Chains A and B, each alone.
Chain A
């Protein structure tokens, strides 16, 4: 029996539009489990990104609950959400969003300093270790504008895990990368997951979805399908792709 790290209950999100309401998420009930590499897939406009924002506290749900460690993050104050982002959640954006006037090393270290859970020297040591792991140690003093998109995204991953978050959110992390860089990033995420990092990723890229241990399929704001897979390294990629493709076809993807 897996432990749920995050649970959504009757989660709804709607927007006012031309005098009416557009419902993006409709009564979603969902658990994200500890140690899982969960991927949310769905067609464009299915509400997958909206769900990611709502679950990560980047945006507030219209109604329902998102429970993390027994607390409803929908009802949290801005300062509590900030604390959550500081210490418990990590976030990887599609467009990397590194602070452009900080070096790669500083981009990684700053959230560590901010968290204050570790001494500055320990943060520096962890940042160095992560940079080694992400193969960006040789460009640690470079500004984001001076490195490639792949290096930027690896830096963004290192930044997201500097505080050893309970849950790592990733929004189309390979969306802005070429095939080679995409593979590198996915390898890194897979490796992190192997080490026990819980990940919730939104993607429409089949190759990215193959890394998941659990795939949720969203349509019209509802989870209409779920596929559980063995860890990536325990299954041949070809058979995994076939299995996932077949499942997606059954959902008319």
Chain B
């Protein structure tokens, strides 16, 4: 007899959701976490979209440890000392059932894992899974760094994050290409609540999410600034190979963003509470591993389920959605006494029938588009240049026409009309 029906490796949002659903289905579940508590190894770009929780934890918003509800979302295009911002406000996002929230992952992940525990899963922290136990090609458990630490199970669900050494060991990943990954660096900066309310023009538990393009120099990527209750999160996402080749360090680029005239007044006087860094699976659908093997499933970041597609930046929701599907599929397979790859195919069916796979499939070209020169370099410069010319009053010279300004800026930034149209059509197809 195996020690457990299901072992889930990693108590982040994917693992906690997997353990929750498998335990609810009556299976014996072990939830392994290498950190001292769930979430202790985790950082992110900042917003959790909770709709996926509605069916798992009804009225989750009454108890989830969130910082602020995002009611204001800005997209900023930066060039030099200039910035163009599209700013959207929606007060209904600040009322139940809410839309997005900022939260500290060590708090949020620990809360979600406590739900799995309450459903009967056994949470074991401070324990690193060091490898897979196998019987032929079949995964039958994990090796841990505890004395006599082998644990056996009918199904192992790998929610061990972006590096997923377990999925790699199981042969589910092709050799990894650094171009598929970005590095996220972030500072959490302390400021009094009333200062944040005033600077960001929000009240109560409402907050702001600012996404920034054009703030990473020659390295493709982006920036972000989020409000927590009494702190801000400001950070960058940087393409790994380009970062490695550029000769500039990530904290230098972050310091530049913080000193930008559009950002500096927002963070002025704040104290850095915590610096953090993490790698992000950026390439979406095209970099996903095999999700199912004999006795093994992969979910969350470990399965590259992360949407870093410019106008949408999501990950925790995909982790929860895929983890829950993995937990349900594993429980069903155990019950039916077939935990082979064929018996676990229900996982794929569940993912295909909900947002997890359809969003990734639909937006499979988006990461490439967002990381292109057009989006990274030309678009922010042209947008800022057009605004500058449009609103700089040049009396006694007459105003130039808008068409002339746009043409002039496109020429200045080496963007041909033909390329702009073809890229625009591509963007419409990708996002539409």
Partners in one complex: no
